[in-house]
Structure 1
Amino acid sequence: MAGTTGMAAQNIDEVVDGLAEIVREATDTGDRVGYFAALYRQVTVEIRKAIHAGQFEDGPRMDRFDTLFGNRYFAAYDAWRRDRSGPRCWRETFGLLDDSDTVIVQHLVLGVNAHINLDLAVAAAGTSPGADIHALQHDYLLVNDILAGVVLVLEDSVGAVSPLLSLLDKVGGRTDEEILDFSVVQSRQEAWYNTVLLAGQTEAQREVTIERLDVRAAVLARLIARPGLLVRPALELIRHTESGDVAAVIAHLDGAMERGSAGRGTG
């Protein structure tokens, strides 16, 4: 299956299945890689629903886009598991999975950072290279709305397993939602700029640009993992009060959208 044997997904259904397999394995073994995989699976399911509902201008193109995007995550995951290789930003992210000092929200944001600040532009440019890239912009921006909805639900889910996460409201002037949401807004805007850049470049130029994006995302990963002195006391308190049951946290995060839909249905 994609993501666990090195096989690439052929469509969005296989992306969902590959992510579900990673979530299952992580739940069984208590591996924190399941935190981001659970978030990513739910985003992909919501995008698939939007494709089936005809919300995108070009549904088959979005399927291809999401498949390229997912395969970049699977390739990074497989490279790390095989020999600790892969893009720098993903090595920074996966390298903290065994660090019990890193809190749940940090693991989530580390994954979001690597996937959006590196993988997104590469996948989008690969979907619609050259002048065709501009036709993708409407559907690309529509994904922002889908992501924002997932983040809103996930914020409540993370708060349930990390009850003092709201302490981050009091330090640095950033709310817990903004921390989860940072790459959905600002970084996706920058990723679109890089998408257009990559789409118009030669292969040699693209290699240089991708290297630059990877280095920058790796620097951001280190900042997320080891934030400034102002935030560290709050993270220490969060760490001591949030759930240490990795499997239970993964299961909780992976059911966030289903619980959110049930709540809206009965509210």
Structure 2
Amino acid sequence: MAQSERIAVTQTPAAPGVDTVLARMRALALDLPPRDGVAVFNRVYLSVTEAVDRAIDGGAAGGFLDRTAAITLDVRFAERYLTAVDAAALGVRGPACWRPLFQFRRHPGVRPLQFALAGINAHIGHDLALAVVDACRTLDCEPDVLEDEFERVGDILVTLEEHIREELMPGPDLLQVADPLTHLLGSWSLERARDAAWGAARALWALRGLPCLEAEFAQRLDTSVGLVGRMLLTPLPD
């Protein structure tokens, strides 16, 4: 594992507020062509982050008992995506989990729903686990302290997943067994990805005293999530 990759796992400078990451996502929404694959995911993620922000503002009424912990986790989570966007803009080789989306973002044979799911796969499958560890380091706490916030964010994501699928469905033929997109949709589950992310976060935290093993685990997680993303972006016939 290269030293630069190891630093990406462990560095945790002070987090900005949710407004800062929302502003970045809104700027991306204005800059990117609507059909661009990253733009498709960005619209989805912007909606999710706005929903989380409203829930945080609602405090206990919104489901977040610890507002500071919720903000820290939400911002650390968003920073992972925005860092990948910045790396791609600079031509820098970013995390493996995000590479398929950036490579196929303009492919005419990839449907918008595939772009959205590939981005969600990268962000939940890889970034969420590392964001939990980032937040724990920032707040000097164990992952269990953040479990309620993690579950609440996950609940919001699951609630929006159905809306995302409905909005981006190519039409009623989607449910036909012969449609290749139906098979892709059935091969990935946000709930399973969320559960796996929590397990990965706990494992990474347990390995924090063993930097080489922690970095190796993070790298293997990144690679495996990237393979799933590449499958989700398989070009399909019209």
TM-score normalised by length of structure 2: 0.82
Matched, 1:38 2:39: no
- The 2-side partners of 1:181 and 1:148 are apart by 16
Deviation, 1:124, is: 0.7
Q: Which has the higher contact order (CA 8 A, sep 6+)?
A: 2
Relative to structure 1, is the Cα distance of residues 180 and 127 closer, same or farther in structure 2, using a 3 angstrom cutoff? farther
Give the match for residue 147 of structure 2: 137
Letter in structure 2 aligned against 1:143: V
Deviation, 1:20, is: 0.8
Deviation, 1:145, is: 1.8
Matched, 1:236 2:237: yes
Structure 1 gaps of 5+ residues are 1-7, 227-231, 238-267
Deviation, 1:131, is: 6.2
Give the match for residue 24 of structure 2: 18
Give the match for residue 192 of structure 2: 186
- The 1-side partners of 2:187 and 2:153 are apart by 13
Deviation, 1:57, is: 2.0
- The 2-side partners of 1:96 and 1:31 are apart by 9
Give the match for residue 147 of structure 1: 157
Given candidates 123, 136, 144, the residue that maps to 2:131 is: 123
Q: Which region of structure 1 is more displaced relative to structure 2, 213-222 or 146-155?
A: 146-155
- The answer on whether the counterparts of 1:84 and 1:91 sit within 8 Å (CA) in structure 2 is no
Structure 2 gaps of 5+ residues are 1-13
SS in 2 for 1:236: coil
Q: Deviations over 1:33-69 (max 9, x none)?
A: 2100000000000001111111212111111111111
- The 2-side partners of 1:213 and 1:35 are apart by 24
Q: Provide the aligned C-alpha RMSD in A.
A: 2.6
Relative to structure 1, is the Cα distance of residues 192 and 52 closer, same or farther in structure 2, using a 3 angstrom cutoff? same
Q: Percent identity?
A: 26
Given candidates 108, 111, 116, the residue that maps to 2:116 is: 108
Q: Deviations over 1:141-163 (max 9, x none)?
A: 1222211221222222213xx22
